[in-house]
Structure 1
Amino acid sequence: MKKIIILAAAISGIVVFAQEKKSDTVKANAIEGITLTKQVFKKQSDRFVYDVAASPVAKGNTTFDLLKQTPLLSSTDDKTLKIAGKNNALIYINGRKTNMDAESLVQLLKSTPAENIQKIEVITVPGSEYQVESSDGIINIVMKKKMSDGLNGNMRMSNMQNKFNGSSASLSLNYRKDKLGISGNIFAGENIQAQSYVLRNGTNLISNESVGDINDPNKNLGGYLNFDYQLTDNSNLALTWNSWYNKSNDSTVDLLNTLRNYNTDGSLKSTEQNKSQNREDAHYYNNSLNLNYELKTDSLGSKLNVNAAYLNYRRFQFSDNRTLVPGTLNDFSLLRQKITQDIPQVINNFSGTVDYIQKFKNDFTVSLGGNFNKTKTDNDTKNYNYSYNGNGDLIATKPDFNHFIYDESIYGLYLTFEKKFSDKLSGKVGARYEITKSLGTSDNPQNTVAQYQQIERNYNNILPYLSVNYAINDKNNISYAFSSRMRRPSFWELNPVKNILTQDNYTQNNPFVKSSSTYNQELTYMLKSSYFLILNHSYFKDIITQVPLQREIIRDGVAYRQLAYIRTNFGDKQEMSAMLGMQKTFFKQYLTMNFNIGVQHNINNGTLDTDPTTGQVFDTYINKTKSTSMVIQTNNTIRLDKKKTWFLGVNYFYVDKQQIELGMLKNLMSLDLSIKKNWNDWTFSLNVTDVLKTNIVEIEDYQSSGNYNYVRNDQFRRGMTFSMVYNFGNQKVKKVRDIEGASDAIKSRTR
């Protein structure tokens, strides 16, 4: 159920962030063998480079599987990739950002053969020329160059079993004939995302507890089509269309809610129970079109790149939320409250970028360019509230409509200078200047915050960047980078929607959320292209997050504790981390090991007592806690035979308890196992994740006021996946040119 996923994002999403910020902490769900050549792991200028071209086990693997085994990269949900110390990873292919929404991009990576990859570049602190949000990092996948014409492809089928069964299939084709290249991908799959929750909040006198399950069925269909035509020896024209459709009908939330009142001596005074039964139907479409022109202006590599793009995102969501109380037979047959919500969202975006790179013979490079984004979101929310008496008879209805329209324009300019002073010393300096103009309008007359009709925000930002790289000798390398970035709120965060979980538990989005700022510093030392030490400091200003606020409400003469997860800016935060890692092969490449151990220190500084959207006052929530925690991760691939056809994977991670925005996150760990067989053009693999069933989220928070909050979220990560991959056709077909999409920076904010 999508509205519960929003709540889950406040929990599991922060958990993911917390784990990743501690280093490349988290598990990779599918373990794949990677036997790497010498110098596979090295530092070059502003990026880490991993050469995987000579890997004998890349055959049959997908690009996504290979990325999860790359040092510094990991995935916690088999859907997103994270970089150590980064909240998100943007995917580039051959230096160009992929023009896809998040879900279809993952399916592309899962259907792209890994043997097409030459190397993987990880940029932990991107330069000014990159359009990235906050502390995002970049993964650049460099494909092998293939010169012959023809057709090749890849078919993949998989079946997954955890609490429920899910299946998927994909087909990718790549065709090249002279100057024309065509590539396409289609993916289809279905699964049920299952979760169980235990939620508790209250004081020593009043407590609420909600226990139950969430089941969210999903059917997905998507793909892309890319045309690339070489106009001349120095110019190319490309057109890309991406599409994705998700249908999620009959999502359910079933929770048993218990209210307990206590006497001052701690004895139980009274108990009251009700049930929350929520049903939801939702579906969304994501379509984008991108036109790209590239012109090489000299033999040194100077070039001009121009993009124009259009993005259309449409989401429709209808939910029925019911609160049931015990009837005469104590069977929860009486309806106390019903809330129906119709929450559509339409996003349209027009984008354009121009980039020019001028290279000089003295190893000096100047890059400059600009971008423009024009976005309009239309959110026409309709809520109907129904109240019932003790006999289940309707006594009141209260409609609540809010038509919220958000217009945003972003203008950006950047300039960077990069110089290689010698074989040992290189550096880059640059800055990005961004102008943001936005206007949110609402026709909600019932809003209690000064009857707002318009929310206008205009701001300018200068975002500097600096990096220096020094190769002390053949075995030692040291580098430093500084970057300043913004994190704009996602469009769904700005839509002032209240998502109901139970009668006294909900999430509230906020049109007043403003952009946050991030300042990153990173010092890296590498030894023998196998061992590395990364020291990082990040300062976050006006963090955008969800804050759990409580207050006492009186209903029918009974005191209740209301819990609201408010989306807002919540103070500042500092994170300091040190990560020591190793990437190395042993026993004549029979064992490949990635091992990391790290420590992180968090300093939180946030206070909130009011919902900025409604003006309602809650008990003050304070998070000024410091915490220091440790993380250990190891990924191991064992080759089982001389012919390099059988591989065993063993992955393990441990994350110590740490303070996050919602409270103290208890420790987590996971053991994952896999076995893979390469047979001619086929690859068969079996992956078992969270073998010990230890990757379950638990968060506790105790305030000095006496308020407490507890969350236990089991996402049923223990599961088994069997997959088959078949490669066919001419494997030397030249790869179709992948192009950067002008609207990619906007797409990340639609979900």
Structure 2
Amino acid sequence: MFTKGINSVLVIAMVLVAHWGMAQSNSLEITGKVIEGQGNQPVPFATIMVVNNDDKSVVAGTSTADDGTFSVESNSDNVYIEISFIGYSKQRIRNINPKEGKVNLGTITLTEDSQTLDQVVVRAEKSQTEFKLDKRVFNVGQDLSSTGASALEVLNNVPSVNVNIEGQISLRGSSGVQILINGKPSVLASEGGNALGTITADMLEKIEVITNPSAKYEAEGTSGIINIVIKKEEKKGMNGSVTVNTGIPNNHSVGLSLNRRTEKFNLFSQLGVGHRTFPSENENINRDLLSNTTINSKGESDKNETFYNLILGTDYHINDYNVLTLSGHFAYEIESENANTNFAESLNGNTVSSRWNREEETEATNPKWQYELQYKKDFENHEDHTLLFSALGNFFGKDQSSNFINAYQEGGFEDELQETATNFKNAEYTFKLDYTKPFLESFTLETGAQYVISDVANDFGVKNYIDEEWVQDMDLTNLFDYNQKVMGVYGTGAYEKDKWGLKLGLRLENTDLSTLLETTNESNNQNYTNLFPSVHTSYKITDAISLQAGYSSRIFRPRLWDLNPFFNIRNNYSIRTGNPDLQPEFTDSYELMSIYIFNKASLNFGVYYRYTTDVVERVSSFENNVNVSKPINVGTNRTTGIEFNGKYTPSDWLTFNGDFNFNYFKREGELEEQIFDFQGDQWSSQVMAKFKLPAQIDFEVTGNYESGYQTVQSEISDQLFADLGLRKKFNKGKAVVNLSIRDIFASRVFESETNQPNFYLYNRRLRGRFIILGFSYGFGKGEAMEFAGQKQF
């Protein structure tokens, strides 16, 4: 896009000059065609300049069309032709022999310039940030610490976003964030599965962080929206890339991307296969302060995952203004998990009354698929005048079985055996229509509708081995049905000039939710309609300084796992359950952002404020040393924060990136005559340094810090950890070898403490260090063409 912009400016300038000159003499028509030497493919957007032989001034100019052809007129025949395109050596044609006012230069072949080409690849590898009127866009480059990483790990390197060691995503310290894939809801991003863990960094194009979404977007997500855009190559001819990764602990994967572009069709595909192991260390303390009894547990587990990813799709270009797209994404995971935990019950803090060991063996298969039909119509009168319709279907299933053995070593109890079975199905359908109409150059109207249907069933059963036979435990067995329909319509109006822009929007959403616990016939039905306004504005003070401000109203709807009152018996003394009576959260969000761009640095500083009602917090109840936590609506929350992002490049070989976020919150709430009022703060920071070393070697190191913070009942400890990466390029950047180490010092530990009048809880989890070695190779037109102005269709 940058190259196309420069070419356009040059062409306009040259045409103006040429027009002035041609008014004074006869014209000469010069035609030809430009191709690239490696594949004999046409080169669109190459710059054609007609240069005066005497004073070297440019007398005319143009750029090549999609098929590489060009036609330009000159007012003189005392000229030569210069053809240039980024990544290729310039061509000069000096022998001009006109016949009857015309010259046909025939086919002109451009050859790759290795020095320029390498510079283009280096620029393309950097992740760059774009600021839009209502969002920030982080283009996913090839950050070294992301080698072989999953989408979750890439997200953790995006400013304002944090992913904890359990895979929970938060934005500016709040977990009420809506995850979209390619702009639409998807079970591939749901909490119930690990599909984001199987989408690798090389499959991603960009990540959009929308902290204050406009009314065009679904109102779900009280802290904002993160939109993950997956690549879909559209370069002409056959193109592709292959990636191979291996690591410690087990992290082995192979990825293949293929694209075939013809005049009418664009066929795209991605294939990924891998096997990974996630080790974990866990420690828990449950202490009853009334009876002075304590349950200590300490153990290790490893989750093994074999995954398969397949993306297939095609774009059919009916004509220049109509495109039909059909695509499918299939993922399949095979999981196995082994856990071994030692338990001890003690009295008065030191007298052990019993010891036992709990072993777990879990097997699961997780099929996921997504399919989409999309139609886009562009109108002739304006390139941004569009109509877009899409129908999207998602499915995620889990068939899981677990076996548990409690082997007693002290205390005189008999060994206990349990088994569980889970049959989970989640189907989701999204229908969306968007219409955009620009008019009077500076105004744009948008309107549309979206209908989302979610249908979920979770069949969970527990059996105990009693008197040499398996007996169903009806107290822990349930069949839970969840059905939600959300209908939304919106309208936005925007005015945008060179200096100032304003966007107003209003969205109306109706939610119809029903749940049923079939084993007890407990049902819960909710139906509510809400308005969600939004306001966004931006002002460009100078070319280097801009301001952005925004307001939006948001909602967080309870999800399946928040509502389902089932008991997970992985640890019989630490149980998480849902609450079918949970109500949605509502948030009013305000922010003011400033952007500064200097010669070697760019800075982004902002302040924000969020007011949330019916805040959802997990609250623990304690009985017989068993901790049961479930989500509860607890009062209101006021959050005020500041955010700072910066990039500084003091020299060609050194770049620094920094991200800092601080917020202060005040919580007010009451539950069953217990006051939950408290206040606190939390902050996080990330600093990345990138070094360019000799022999085309790049090195980077990233340091992260997340402060401790307070919840309704608990204190969460701080975390300090670091990642590093090393890269060596070969063959003009087409082949790359990467080494990445995440959590170098294995210091990313989650710890929480709960001090209540009647009980004390302690929880600690550690994942450890991950080392990955990767190799990638691009074939076809290669990386340089992708980032050198090749037209995207």
Query: TM-score normalized by structure 1?
Result: 0.79
Q: Check the 8 A contact 2:150/2:196 in 1, yes or no.
A: no
1:445-464 matches, within 5 Å, as: 445=520, 452-464=521-533
Q: CA separation in 2, counterparts of 1:521 and 1:189?
A: 42
Per-residue displacement from partner, 1:578-633 (whole Å, max 9, x unpaired)? Answer: 1233212111x211111233432132345557xxxxxxxxxx98753322344332
Q: CA separation in 2, counterparts of 1:59 and 1:661?
A: 35
- 3-state SS in 2 of match to 1:111: helix
Deviation of the 1:51 alpha carbon: 7.6
- 3-state SS in 1 of match to 2:745: coil
Q: CA separation in 2, counterparts of 1:187 and 1:253?
A: 28
Q: Check the 8 A contact 2:721/2:743 in 1, yes or no.
A: yes
Q: CA separation in 1, counterparts of 2:765 and 2:706?
A: 16
Per-residue displacement from partner, 1:403-430 (whole Å, max 9, x unpaired)? Answer: 222222211111111112x422111111
Structure 1 residue 290 and structure 2 residue 372: aligned? yes
Q: CA separation in 1, counterparts of 2:202 and 2:126?
A: 28
Q: CA separation in 1, counterparts of 2:741 and 2:144?
A: 19
Per-residue displacement from partner, 1:240-284 (whole Å, max 9, x unpaired)? Answer: 1111111113x122211222222xxxx745532222222222111
Deviation of the 1:656 alpha carbon: 2.3
Where does residue 344 of structure 1 map in the other structure? 423
User: Unaligned 5+ residue runs, structure 1?
Assistant: 1-32, 446-451, 554-560, 610-619, 738-751
Q: CA separation in 2, counterparts of 1:543 and 1:585?
A: 42
Q: Check the 8 A contact 1:671/1:691 in 2, yes or no.
A: yes
Where does residue 652 of structure 1 map in the other structure? 703
Letter in 1 for 2:136: F
Match of 1:402 among 478, 499, 506: 478
Match of 2:250 among 136, 142, 165: 165
Return closer, same or farther for 1:79/1:260 CA change in 2, 3 Å cut-off. Answer: closer
Deviation of the 1:142 alpha carbon: 10
Match of 1:625 among 678, 703, 710: 678
Return closer, same or farther for 1:605/1:275 CA change in 2, 3 Å cut-off. Answer: farther
Q: Check the 8 A contact 1:34/1:56 in 2, yes or no.
A: no
Letter in 1 for 2:684: V
Structure 1 residue 299 and structure 2 residue 381: aligned? yes
Deviation of the 1:34 alpha carbon: 7.1
Where does residue 46 of structure 1 map in the other structure? 134
- 3-state SS in 2 of match to 1:181: strand
Q: CA separation in 2, counterparts of 1:282 and 1:51?
A: 35
Per-residue displacement from partner, 1:291-333 (whole Å, max 9, x unpaired)? Answer: 111111343211111111222222112222333322xxx5x99
Where does residue 433 of structure 1 map in the other structure? 508
Letter in 1 for 2:780: G
Letter in 2 for 1:46: D
1:222-261 matches, within 5 Å, as: 222-249=309-336, 251-261=337-347
Q: Check the 8 A contact 2:145/2:740 in 1, yes or no.
A: no
Deviation of the 1:697 alpha carbon: 1.0
Structure 1 residue 317 and structure 2 residue 400: aligned? yes
Q: CA separation in 1, counterparts of 2:250 and 2:390?
A: 41
- The number of residue pairs the alignment matches comes to 652
Where does residue 280 of structure 1 map in the other structure? 362
CA radius of gyration, larger in: 2
Deviation of the 1:671 alpha carbon: 1.8
Q: CA separation in 1, counterparts of 2:527 and 2:185?
A: 29
Q: Check the 8 A contact 2:343/2:356 in 1, yes or no.
A: yes
Q: CA separation in 1, counterparts of 2:561 and 2:791?
A: 36
Letter in 2 for 1:572: T
Q: CA separation in 1, counterparts of 2:675 and 2:333?
A: 38
Match of 1:361 among 421, 437, 440: 440
Where does residue 621 of structure 2 map in the other structure? 549
Q: CA separation in 1, counterparts of 2:585 and 2:280?
A: 31
Q: CA separation in 2, counterparts of 1:80 and 1:173?
A: 32
Query: TM-score normalized by structure 2?
Result: 0.75
Q: Check the 8 A contact 1:308/1:353 in 2, yes or no.
A: yes
Return closer, same or farther for 1:213/1:39 CA change in 2, 3 Å cut-off. Answer: closer
Return closer, same or farther for 1:522/1:56 CA change in 2, 3 Å cut-off. Answer: closer
- 3-state SS in 1 of match to 2:568: strand
Deviation of the 1:57 alpha carbon: 10
Q: CA separation in 2, counterparts of 1:395 and 1:191?
A: 33
Where does residue 741 of structure 2 map in the other structure? 688
Q: CA separation in 2, counterparts of 1:533 and 1:479?
A: 10
Per-residue displacement from partner, 1:188-231 (whole Å, max 9, x unpaired)? Answer: 11112111111112244222211111221111112211111011
Return closer, same or farther for 1:36/1:662 CA change in 2, 3 Å cut-off. Answer: farther
Match of 2:777 among 712, 726, 735: 726
Structure 1 residue 535 and structure 2 residue 623: aligned? no
Q: Check the 8 A contact 2:253/2:272 in 1, yes or no.
A: yes
Letter in 2 for 1:457: Q
Structure 1 residue 575 and structure 2 residue 639: aligned? yes
Per-residue displacement from partner, 1:525-582 (whole Å, max 9, x unpaired)? Answer: 222261221112223333344333212x3xxxxxxx1111224434433322212332
Q: CA separation in 2, counterparts of 1:195 and 1:427?
A: 49
Identity of aligned residues (%): 20
Q: CA separation in 2, counterparts of 1:311 and 1:292?
A: 15
Q: CA separation in 1, counterparts of 2:552 and 2:491?
A: 14
Q: CA separation in 1, counterparts of 2:338 and 2:420?
A: 15
Q: Check the 8 A contact 2:615/2:635 in 1, yes or no.
A: yes
Deviation of the 1:73 alpha carbon: 5.5
Where does residue 709 of structure 1 map in the other structure? 761
Q: Check the 8 A contact 1:548/1:621 in 2, yes or no.
A: no
User: Unaligned 5+ residue runs, structure 2?
Assistant: 1-120
Deviation of the 1:75 alpha carbon: 5.6
The CA RMSD over aligned residues, in Å, is: 3.5
Where does residue 59 of structure 2 map in the other structure? none
